[in-house]
Chain A
Amino acid sequence: MNTLPTIRAALVIGRRDFTATVFSKAFLFFLLGPLFPILIGLLFGGIGANVAQQAEQPTIAVVGSEGDIRRLEESRQRIADVFEGQPVIKFVYFRPEADEDALRRKLLTRKPANIGVLTGDLFRPRFVGSVDPQGPIARQLELIVGQAQVPPGLQGQPLTIQRIERSSGKTSTARALTAHAGQALLFLLTLLLAGMLLSQLIEEKSNKVIEVLAAAVPVDAIFLGKLFAMLAMSLLGIAVWASAAVAAVTLLAEPGTLSALPAPALGWPGFGLLALIYFGFGYLLIGAAFLGIGAQASTVREVQTLSMPITMSQVAVFALAAVAAGSPDSPTGLFAAVFPLSSPYAMLARAALDGRWWPHLVAIGWQALWLVLILRVAAAYFRRSVLKSGPRRRWPWQRRSQPT
């Protein structure tokens, strides 16, 4: 393969495919596509959040004497009776220890997570936790403590509340969510683009443009041009979606929402960079496989037949990566990171959870190696299959074509 003319020809073909797609109505649907899962997600997410909010009983660890604990529990019960059906904070009780600070730290990080720790006694109650001092949980707690102080004529000091940042448990959950969301987005995009790539190829085969292309440029250039065009188109799509998302959050959400999002372990810039790289690898790997296999299809019907097992394989790869996302260092996680087709997804999830860079450098090298291999094999297969007309599989039960 003569590299320079091939790249030049690939750019001519890629440019044509890119402009033809971007200036088509289909591209508008491509841009609007992610809105639908987001809308559905928001709808069900909103319902789910309501249900969760209704069902959730924030838990507070209470460190105190038996008497105080009994009074607090009675007071909590009275409040619960009054607010029947509403979530009321739940207490878990612990005996005091010599090192109160150490006990508090332990209780704040234990699982299941407590939103805070109440210490001192009913004369000098002190609460440390991740609640808004003016919010409903704090007011509920003040009410319970106040009620507990009343019966025997106690005149204790009012509750002091110290707010702390979220617990590490919550951050890791949020990061896992970022990992899954990144994987899902990557998967959806790849699936969408690979499908578009196949449709375009079939269109060219059916309207015979492929013959004009193949007579003028190496088949490798056609193959690369198509991959480049789709990659450029998807990057444009990502840029549009990312800008729209930032604009929407900036305009619609409360100030500081963006900075309040839990940062991935590698930070947003690093995560964004790796997301782009892994998207590129993921797409090129799957796209190359799609083009190589799809080149043997001549009709839309054949494409549909071929697409099914390929799509199912993609889903399986995604499922593997998704399972591995929660535990990147488990055997499954390591396998997903090493297996070339799932590696981009698995490593993107790792970027959200793990703060080390070197695994990504190794993975990028590994994926690049496989990309070159798969591109070469797929291009050779594409070259062999794409220009043949009529049936190509030489099964005994299939008739052979009679070329002119």
Chain B
Amino acid sequence: MLRQAQHNGPSHSTTDIAIEARNLVKDFGDTRAVDGVSLSVPTGTIYGILGPNGAGKTTSLRMLLGIIDPSSGTRRLLGRDRPLEAASEVGYLPEERGLYPAMSAREAIAFMGALRGLPLGEGRRRATAMLAERGLADWTNRPIRTLSKGMAQTVQLLGTLVHDPRLIVLDEPFSGLDAINQEKLEEQIRARAATGVTVIFSTHVIAHAERLCERIAIIAGGRVAFEGAVDEARGKLRPIVQLTTRSPDGPWRAALPAQARQQGAVWTFELPPGGPEPLLKALIDGGAGIETLSIERPGLHDAFVAIAGDAAARELESSNGADA
């Protein structure tokens, strides 16, 4: 069944790794675009690379795929030191979509499959079926230049998947899609992952990573600030308590940590290290008169701020603004 990010999947053996990078560095002239990126993507997971624009996500993916060579460091893709040797098992959707405008939708999909070793005839057959499945049968023989941007993106995504890759690499796949198509794409990613395919994608939208990913790498300024399970990232912060009381003051106040913030009748503070039970006991014994009390796990956004810092969080927000 579909894997949900909330479940965050089973733990993976470190020997079953689809992508592994160690200290990847990429310099363009005097500019260091990527500075020692290390990450490990277990087979069969959905893995997100999260970071603002210009953080080095695309450059890292291009190095992992062998499109460009790193200045230093090593990488392995599906067990191969030379990533292009695994090309027939990889599907890649680049950030800047590229299709031949004069090619028909079917030919474009079949051509992308042929580049990955799928015979052209089989590629055409699959392309026709895939387009029909998505209600695009009428567009099968139409040139790409006559398609809308969203449809062209769909064609490129189908071309990425036509040869049934074991590893799917998507660079900013949600960029330029409306909300409905973003949701459809999320469903497709989950469906592919449910069949055991490894999916790695880059994004600057935390919500996508939070909904889809089991593991993430947070990249800022060309460096990996965090790499691990989403739960692990959230675990960097303590749960947040929101409390409303009937009594405005009293001995119960001693149970609140010093950083507790009050907004109207609502108190917000991190759950103390002792956990919820001693807190509840102290509040009740202190006569707080609890009206509401909620304990929430922090979101990935809070974790991102805590891990990457305020500056990176602001860049991420401006990236989202630019994308919108």
Contacts and interface: CB of A to CB of B under 8 A. Distances in A.
Interface of A: 2, 8-9, 12-13, 16, 20, 24, 204, 207-218, 387-388, 394, 400-404
Nearest to B56: A404
B67 A9 contact: no
25 contacts: A9-B115, A16-B111, A20-B100, A207-B98, A207-B101, A208-B96, A210-B98, A211-B94, A211-B98, A212-B99, A212-B115, A212-B159, A215-B66, A215-B90, A216-B116, A388-B28, A400-B29, A402-B54, A403-B26, A403-B28, A403-B33, A404-B33, A404-B53, A404-B54, A404-B59
Interface in B82-127: 84-85, 87, 90, 92, 94-103, 111-112, 114-117
Contacts of A209: 98-100
Contacts of B55: 404
Interface in B136-187: 156, 159
Contacts of B116: 216
| Pairs of residues from A and B, 10 with the lowest C-beta to C-beta distance, nearest first | A208-B98, A216-B115, A209-B98, A208-B96, A215-B92, A211-B94, A400-B29, A403-B33, A404-B58, A212-B98
A95 to B, nearest CB: 78
Nearest to A206: B98
Question: How big is the B interface, by class?
Answer: 35 or more
B65 A215 contact: yes
B92 A20 contact: no
Nearest to B92: A215
A403 B111 contact: no
B33 A217 contact: no
Contacts of A210: 98
Instruction: Name the residue in A215, A216, A394, A404 with the highest tally of chain B Cβ atoms < 10 Å from its Cβ.
Output: A215
B292 interface: no
A217 B58 contact: no
Contacts of B58: 403-404
Nearest to B68: A387
A218 B31 contact: no
A214 B67 contact: yes
B291 interface: no
B190 interface: no
Contacts of A387: 62, 67-68
B101 A218 contact: no
Contacts of A213: 115
A2 B85 contact: yes
A400 B31 contact: yes
Contact of A212 (B30, B68, B112): B112
B103 to A, nearest CB: 7
B29 to A, nearest CB: 4
A13 B114 CA distance: 9
A182 B26 CA distance: 50
Contacts of A9: 115
B57 interface: yes
Given A215-B65, A217-B84, A400 B115 contact: no
Contacts of A13: 115
Contacts of B156: 212
Given A20-B100, A207-B99, A207-B101, A216 B54 contact: no
Contacts of A16: 100, 111
A20 B87 CA distance: 24
Interface in B199-218: none
B296 to A, nearest CB: 34
